[in-house]
Chains A and B, each alone.
Chain A
């Protein structure tokens, strides 16, 4: 199964250097939404910048971006994993 990497950035860049093994692109999107919701949970701010200012970029092992998720556009939802 392929490995996907879930980086977030705005002015700063936070790297997910280990990545997560998932069945495919759809599973990677579901994982990305779950992580995004956990990051935005309640207080929603990091490094002095609100989470809504951040964007998550999901990349495959070749560094190709397969999903781009501005956190401000992530819908509310269940965060269970």
Chain B
């Protein structure tokens, strides 16, 4: 099993898009660590110290308001990275990055990534293109949170999360409290809306666990935002090829 570790890093789509010669510049500083649910990998207001490339698991970027409330701005799994722009220069984070599904995450100090970026146009291109993709995702989610109802948003959120987990997984350890924070609605509302999706046969919902039963049905229940932010199609739709030519 030669290169087992290298293969692990390449489970992340962005790292897999790096040409082999450039990846060899990155590899000495990349580490893979298993992170637990709830761990904070990026703190809002602080400079980005590390850049995270999930192999498995999922990270939410949360906008935290002064009253302490929060709402999710983006969901990141094996298709993306957290803090990637920290590889372009010293940058401050404006969101809190929280591990929502435990998993193995490749990471690199931002200063090391920046040094490699200075020698690799390919990696610089990947980071700047991915940053464009993330902007489109975040603006769509912002509009969705302001304009769409709780049922459509919960359906959209479950689908986007499933898409970003390898497998893909169909069972998720999410409490109402947690979903309430992701969607910016009361826990009671989450419970009632989840009960409605369950009654329609789309999910099974027990305390702290959601199972997706009917994906096409859930896509019907979701708003159009889900289709916009589908990571398999979004870069191409934008006219972006993440892989350098």
Q: Could you tell me if B152 and A31 are in contact, using CB atoms closer than 8 angstroms? A: no
Tell yes or no: A43 within 8 A of B by CB.
Answer: yes
Tell yes or no: A34 within 8 A of B by CB.
Answer: yes
State how many residues of chain A have any CB contact under 8 Å with chain B. 21
Of the residues A18, A43, A81, contact of B191 by C-beta under 8 Å: A18
Tell yes or no: A1 within 8 A of B by CB.
Answer: no
Measured CA separation A33–B186 after assembly (Å): 11
Of the residues B148, B150, B191, B200, contact of A17 by C-beta under 8 Å: B191
Q: How large is the interface on B (under 10, 10 to 19, 20 to 34, 35 or more residues)?
A: 20 to 34
Measured CA separation A66–B205 after assembly (Å): 27
Which DSSP category, helix, strand, loop or mixed, fits chain B's interface? helix
Of the residues A38, A46, A47, contact of B185 by C-beta under 8 Å: A38
Measured CA separation A41–B185 after assembly (Å): 11
Q: Could you tell me if A39 and B150 are in contact, using CB atoms closer than 8 angstroms? A: yes
Measured CA separation A16–B180 after assembly (Å): 14
Q: Closest B-chain residue to A80, C-beta based?
A: B69
Tell yes or no: B188 within 8 A of A by CB.
Answer: yes
Measured CA separation A24–B148 after assembly (Å): 31
Q: Could you tell me if A20 and B192 are in contact, using CB atoms closer than 8 angstroms? A: no
Q: Closest A-chain residue to B146, C-beta based?
A: A42
Of the residues B188, B200, B207, contact of A16 by C-beta under 8 Å: B188
Q: Mark B183-225, 1 if CB is under 8 A from A, else 0.
A: 0011111011101100110000001000000000000000000
Tell yes or no: A73 within 8 A of B by CB.
Answer: no
Q: Could you tell me if A46 and B187 are in contact, using CB atoms closer than 8 angstroms? A: no
CB distance from A10 to the nearest CB of B (A): 12
Q: List 30 A-B contacts (CB under 8 A).
A: A6-B188, A8-B192, A12-B196, A12-B199, A14-B192, A14-B195, A14-B196, A16-B191, A16-B192, A18-B207, A20-B188, A31-B186, A31-B188, A34-B186, A35-B189, A38-B189, A39-B149, A39-B189, A41-B149, A41-B150, A42-B147, A42-B148, A42-B149, A43-B151, A44-B149, A46-B196, A47-B196, A47-B200, A81-B69, A81-B185
Given contacts A12-B196, A35-B188, 10 further A-B contacts (CB under 8 A): A20-B188, A38-B150, A38-B186, A39-B149, A39-B150, A42-B147, A46-B151, A47-B196, A47-B199, A81-B185
